[in-house]
Amino acid sequence: MATSKTANATSPSDATPRRAGAAPAAKSAGAPRQARSAAEGATGRAPSTRASAGDASTGQRTRGGWESVGTSAARRDRQDTAGTSRGERTRLALIEAARRVFERDGYFEARVQDIVKEAGVAHGTFYTYFSSKRDMLTEITAEFGELVEAAVSRDTSSDPDDRYGVLKTSNERYLNVYKQNHAVMALIEHLATFDPDLHTVRLNRRRYHVSRVAATISRWQDEGLADPDIDPKTTAGALVSMLSNFSYWWFVGGDDYDWDSAAETLTTIWARAVGLAPTKQLGIVKNRLTVQDAARIKKAVEIKKAR
């Protein structure tokens, strides 16, 4: 799905939080965290569900309301363990303050003193946890990546046979995360054009999402549900780009679309691109495939398996 959204996007690894008062880890100012390889996690994701009133789940949830999965879950588990410490609360307060300052003033105009003032802490406190504002930006970039990862992970409460419905829900979640975080995403998009380290982080995250979507397309092909003649990786790359670029121009670039129409259209394009065959829940009309299309796909898969 969507990253880059495609975000199919769209995966950086997570640095272990420092204890209160601990000296910063030795690293060059502005060195980015390493992105997760594209192959990691390509075989499936843990379930992600939206928080609701009265939800009995005790799992950590992201800013967007989704249950943490993958690197996000591990990262937030560590934060939960250390969350009662004053130092960890201060660190998280600094990250949130930096996010607000970057969105308000822009990255280049933002100063460390502006961040600590926003967070309500002493100037020296900043360097207990971060080496520079570039280091802070890396944290914020990773946070956005975790939000996307959680949003596009399949909700196990949905009907797995309704693949069109699963696709649409995932696309809507991605759009919602992008909309809620459009200011910081615009900043990341801009800086990545001339910051090679940040570009690498984004590229690796994109490759992760492309790999994830390609694995899904391959599985559908094996099950006789998708067009066996398309290349999974190339198709996944195009679809991830479609969703992420569409989101950028909608929420950052100034385009204007109806929400329901956009979500439906994006999902229809996605289903047509992979030749998603009808299911009993999906129906012929829902994904716009004809009976002849379904028969052609089924026959092609049978011939492929017979070889």
pLDDT in tens, 119-167: 999 999 999 999 999 898 988 988 888 889 888 886 666 676 788 888 9
Question: pLDDT (tens digit, 9 = 90+) per residue, 41-96?
Answer: 333 333 333 344 334 444 444 444 445 455 445 544 544 444 458 888 999 999 99
CA distances from 9 to 149, 201, 272 (A): 8, 12, 20
**pLDDT at residue 172 tops 50:** yes
Domain boundaries, the chain: 70-306
Q: How far apart are CA 284 and CA 287, in angstroms?
A: 6
Nearest to 78 by CA among 99, 92, 97: 92
Please give the pLDDT value at position 6.
38
At how many degrees (to 10) do helices 163-180 and 259-274 cross? 130
* CATH number for the domain formed by residue range(s) 70-306: 1.10.357.10
Please give the pLDDT value at position 98.
94
- Yes or no: say if 197 and 30 are a contact pair by the CB < 8 Å rule: yes
- Yes or no: say if 230 and 275 are a contact pair by the CB < 8 Å rule: yes
The pTM is what?
0.62
